[in-house]
Structure 1
Amino acid sequence: MSVDALKFNDQGLVAVIAQDAESGAVRMMAYANEAAIRRTLETGAAHFYSRSRKQLWKKGETSGHTLAVRDVWVDCDGDTLIYMVDPEGPSCHTGAETCFFRRLERDGRLVDAQGEVAEPTLLRLERTLQTRKASDASKSYTKTLLDAGPAKVDAKIREEAAELGRALIDESDARVASEAGDLTYHMLVGLVLRDVSLRKLLTELSKRFGRSGHEEKSSRQ
């Protein structure tokens, strides 16, 4: 399938979703015509088509908040694309990381999510932990753990890792998942304590695709 085989609408456009290649978070949605798609493929920078200005535009051309495109995916109908991107700065014109920071409630009300955005579970957890770190909530287990320092967090990570190891041997799948959740939580607490972002972890993991475990281990010796 080639670009000219895509199913463009009557205006010659397809919908394009920009998704963070590391975190999976949806950053924005816009439209692109054939020329914008070809420019994206040629340059590796996200290009779209402005319906109001009736011209191509490069994301971040004036703000500097660009989207470097790793891959372009096409849906089953050929009328919607996903740009898998590495964002430089926020993606919304409001200054928010993502354009999706309002939620439609079950009763039909449109509400500002008060700091929340549409994002995967691990990013939501990281954001919550960062909020706890900045708070003075004395009853927060996370805040207490962070205030106790790296030695306490280290002890908890070791404890939870051991419990997961035991569960793997002879406990139920539900128990294994529960213990893995505990370990993941405490690992993220450690990352937040050290100001190491989840993005850095995901970037490190993505580097290992296409490399054997033996090669990766040797590179660290």
Structure 2
Amino acid sequence: MENFSLDFDKSDGLIPAIIQDAKSKQVLMLGYLNEEALEKTKSTGRVTFYSRTKGRLWTKGETSGNFLEVKEMLVDCDRDTLLIYVDPVGPVCHTGADTCFAERNRSNTFFIDKLRKTIKSRKNNPLDNSYTASLFAKGINKVAQKVGEEAVEIVIESKDDNKELFLGEAADLLFHYLVLLEAKGYELDEVMEVLMRRHKG
């Protein structure tokens, strides 16, 4: 874990920590850490809080097995709050809910951002055995052609009732569309801006 300096003196030795799912970006819970809890979190890779009610360290999941596996920790500008990205093992709330705010944590759409980064990397740092890099090497016409082919295939597949095949074609189309955006030098965020301008609520 990264070494950083936190100001524990502002709040009587405790630092609030916002716990966020590293994949979905869903806010899962809020907890507090003292210096000992922070050190244990860093050394074990699992979030350990300081329980204000029990007056002791408490590793989330120590009884339920629903641990919070740490992926990244960030400090705010005042050095008195943590943002901890985690991979939650099971429900986070003691009630059995996905989050302590009674929200579902089921979205995988933020994986698109990771995929976009990989696609950009394959364009800027091509690998010999990369299919994505080979598309970029063939030029914009080939990339556009692949998008067209995948679009036709999903239209054909939509006329049947095979969920697995349809979702496979949908994934192929989405992937090649993202490659096309990168080949054109446009960001998916720019497309989202167009959609948001069109959205009437």
TM-score w.r.t. the length of structure 2 is: 0.55
Report how many residues are paired. 143
Secondary structure class of the residue paired with 1:177: helix
Match of 2:161 in 1: 148
Shift of 1:154: 4.9
2:161 is aligned with what amino acid?
A
Q: Is the 8 A contact 1:146 1:153 kept in 2?
A: no
| CA deviation string 1:168-205 (max 9, x = no partner) | 999x999x837xx9xxxxxxxxxxxxxxxxxxxxxxxx
More displaced, 72-81 or 153-162? 153-162
| 1:51-90 deviation line (CA, Å, top 9, x unaligned) | 1111111111111111111221101111110122111111
Taking the aligned partners of 2:159 and 2:82, their CA distance within structure 1 comes to 41
RMSD of aligned C-alpha atoms?
3.9
| Separation in structure 1 between the aligned mates of residue 88 and residue 6 of structure 2, nearest angstrom | 28
Instruction: Tell me if 1:99 matches 2:119.
Output: no
Number of the residue aligned with 1:30: 31
Whether the aligned pair in 2 keeps the contact of 1:8 and 1:14 (CA below 8 Å) is no
Partner of 1:177: 191
In structure 1, runs of 5+ residues without a counterpart are 102-115, 124-144, 182-221
3-state DSSP of counterpart to 1:91:
coil
Go from structure 1 to structure 2 and tell me whether the alpha carbon gap of 1:45 and 1:166 turns closer, same or farther (over 3 Å shift): closer
CA contact (8 A) 1:71 1:84 kept: yes
- Structure 1 residues 160 and 44, CA gap change in structure 2 (3 angstroms): closer
SS in 1 for 2:109: helix
Measured against aligned partners, the alpha-carbon deviations of 1:9-47 in whole angstroms (never above 9, x if no partner) come to 342111001111222222211011111101111111111
Question: For 1:53, what is the secondary structure of its paired residue?
Answer: coil
Name the SS for the 1:42 alignment partner: helix
Aligned counterparts, 1:1-221, within 5 A:
5-101=6-102, 116-117=103-104, 122=109, 148-149=161-162, 150-154=164-168, 177=191
Q: Indicate if the aligned counterparts of 2:73 and 2:82 stay in contact, CA closer than 8 A.
A: yes
State the identity as a percent: 37
Distance in 2 (alpha carbons) for counterparts of 1:153 and 1:91 = 30
Counterpart amino acid of residue 177 in structure 1: V
